[in-house]
Structure 1
Amino acid sequence: MRLGLRDGTGAPARRAPRLSAPWPSGRRHQLDELRGAANAGLAPASDSDQDIDEYIRTQSFSFYHPSGTCMMGKVVDHELRVRGLDNVRVADTSIMPTLVTGNTNAPAIMIGEKAATFIRTPVR
């Protein structure tokens, strides 16, 4: 996730770094399979490599639970405030430095509850 403009007025932008580099030589096989999906209405109808690449970049997602992208101490402070921005907090597992070995649901709930406490507590 990347904020739009410095003053916070721009829309957030998603970027998938795993898809930003050129694909390896096995790409042709993957594109051929995707063309079959297009025929079934599950992918873009165009068979150009450029259109298919764009579709993959904009429509794909990860099943992994991202964490560590807004690491506490580096991006957010001890009260989950984003450094350098006013009135912006991060209250999800992205503040965790590493992914937990279990499900991220309980840690995410705890982080959200703690953020709510920080927000409700007057500034000292």
Structure 2
Amino acid sequence: MKYLVLLFLFLSLSADKDYSLRLAHGKVTDSTFGEVLFLDIKSYPQDLKVTALDGGYVLKKRAFDLPFDIYGRAGFAQFDEAGLQDNIYEGTLYIKAYWNIDFYKNRVRIGLGEGVSYTSGILYVEKKRH
């Protein structure tokens, strides 16, 4: 089974330590998740793309006295359907928890989120796969 994989180039900005902003852009590929991990990326016949903006605010730092931050987040995405159908738009609203792992003056964050989203239609690649 093939996966819809968004290869993303993201830019994380921070105006203040309590806010976050992310801009992302990606393309649909015809590769499985395993193929992408091994950089065996196959192009998709159509030039389907997504551009998204996502922002958040820290609701609680070091929750439960653990290296655990909780954010309220919202986002907006536009899916460019390359003329195959009208473009699709998506809005998201969610809570995201990050576990912070600090080592060698670096930080790695593992996150898990839960929320709601709305799209204005069904993506072309999702219709094609069914």
Q: TM-score normalised to the size of structure 1?
A: 0.28
Structure whose residues are more often helix by fraction: 1
- Structure scoring higher RCO (CA < 8 A, sep ≥ 6) equals 2
Structure whose residues are more often strand by fraction: 2
Q: Which has the larger radius of gyration?
A: 1
Q: TM-score normalised to the size of structure 2?
A: 0.27
